[in-house]
Structure 1
């Protein structure tokens, strides 16, 4: 693996590990972020993992960019990455309905019955490659190839929080309401982002999830449980 150090203004560097996307590269990005969290370099203030790179924000009054870049490359040598991921969760989803308005059209496009599409979508295990775009928004790899679908030609102006979407080769869970050009097939009562929780983000890069189809009544029960302080997600032993 040949990494590059790229300056990002006066207070950040990007460690670019590759020009391609893979679980192994993403695992190395996360491993470097975890290593910096466990063994901090003085002056490093924050790290932001992406598909194939890690942004490192720092205080130039404490560490200079050139020295930090050299230290980051040194950290990469011998770093062990776990492509299997960190935690595993089952995420409840009500497929179809107002939030899943693209389900029937997408099933017709793929020449599948809606129930067949739901079964295929919920059978896969997805990897959280990165959190971005909006607070807590999860970009998910692992979407079955048959479900790969281009985004809509024009984005909708409002998609509700918890909407479960498909965009290109990726799946997603919307963390907050907002515009989106993805195609949405369901909604989870799980709140990926809640600023009043001790841990505002439920998912992190490297986690794995599987969707679990539920009915509207069970979803309401889960939503009530979440309102009382639960997460609504079931963690699965690795």
Structure 2
């Protein structure tokens, strides 16, 4: 795994810097599949993975050596889990403009969005917001020139290489193509987030 850099983050965590999002996804899959017993949590982001360590199980230096070894030969792949299906009404405020920007019809955009096998690369922005990526999605979608001050909960959006669903009302600059009633974040659920890093997602046109 090229471009691997490991730095201490406090006295019981390591921050792994990587060159690409694909490398982050690969390392997350390796840690998930072959987890070192001292790792108590690992949090991916766009170019990093934070690894939290229980030093009573093994010293931080031991986990660092293990990370270097597994990153050098990332043979593990994402777990073959069933996808989370999210029903979407494709009536978003930016649906028509987005299809024009991408040079496809509205019907073609919806077809590509529902045909893609998405996965959660990482979470952020607000609790429950998952940044979705797909090898089946060829588009780079420009963000809005001026973000909206209010995006409703359940809005389905696109920005750059990512797809996503707003878990609650918030500002946002993604282009909105639809709406879902799926609950993305519930504090009384276990786990509270519907979509965790590594999860697979499929969108389905609501009937």
With normalisation by structure 2, the TM-score equals: 0.83
Unpaired runs of 5+ residues, structure 2, are none
Match of 1:134 among 102, 126, 130: 126
Indicate how the Cα distance of structure 1 residues 191 and 101 shifts in structure 2: closer, same or farther if over 3 A, else same. Answer: same
2:43 counterpart residue number: 48
Task: Measure how far apart 1:59 and its partner are.
Answer: 5.8
Aligned to 2:29: 30
What is the number of residues matched between the two proteins? 205
C-alpha distance in 2 between matches for 1:105 and 1:13? 43
CA contact (8 A) 1:30 1:205 kept: no
- Which runs of 5 or more residues in structure 1 are unaligned? 216-238
Aligned to 1:95, the other structure's residue is in SS state coil
CA-atom RMSD, angstroms?
2.7
1:136 offset after TM fit, Å? 1.7
Contact kept? 1:85, 1:206, Cα under 8 Å: no
1:225 is matched with none
Decide which structure has the larger Cα Rg and report it: 1
Q: Normalising by structure 1, report the TM-score.
A: 0.73
Distance change in 2, residues 1:4/1:183 (3 Å): same
Per-residue CA distance 1:172-220 (angstroms, 9 max, x = gap) = 11222211111010011111211101221122222222211114xxxxx
Structure 1 residues 113 and 27, CA gap change in structure 2 (3 angstroms): same
Equivalent position of 1:7 in the other structure: 8
Change (3 A) 1:61 1:81: closer
Structure 1 counterpart SS, 2:181: coil
Deviations 1:114-166 (A, max 9, x none): 22321222122112111222212111112632x42211112111212221111
Between the aligned partners of 1:58 and 1:82, the Cα distance in structure 2 is 22
Higher mean displacement: 113-122 or 56-65:
56-65
Match of 1:192 in 2: 184
Partner of 1:231: none
Q: Distance in 1 between matches of 2:69 and 2:111?
A: 45
Question: How many angstroms apart in 2 are the aligned matches of 1:74 and 1:120?
Answer: 38
Residue 202 (structure 2) pairs with residue 213 (structure 1): no
- Note closer, same or farther for the CA distance 1:170–1:63 as it changes in structure 2 (3 Å cut): same
Taking a change above 3 Å as real, the CA distance of residues 85 and 176 of structure 1, as seen in their structure-2 partners, is: farther
> Structure 1 pair 76/110, CA: closer, same or farther in 2 (3 Å)?
closer
Alignment CA distance shift 1:160-1:25 (3 Å): same
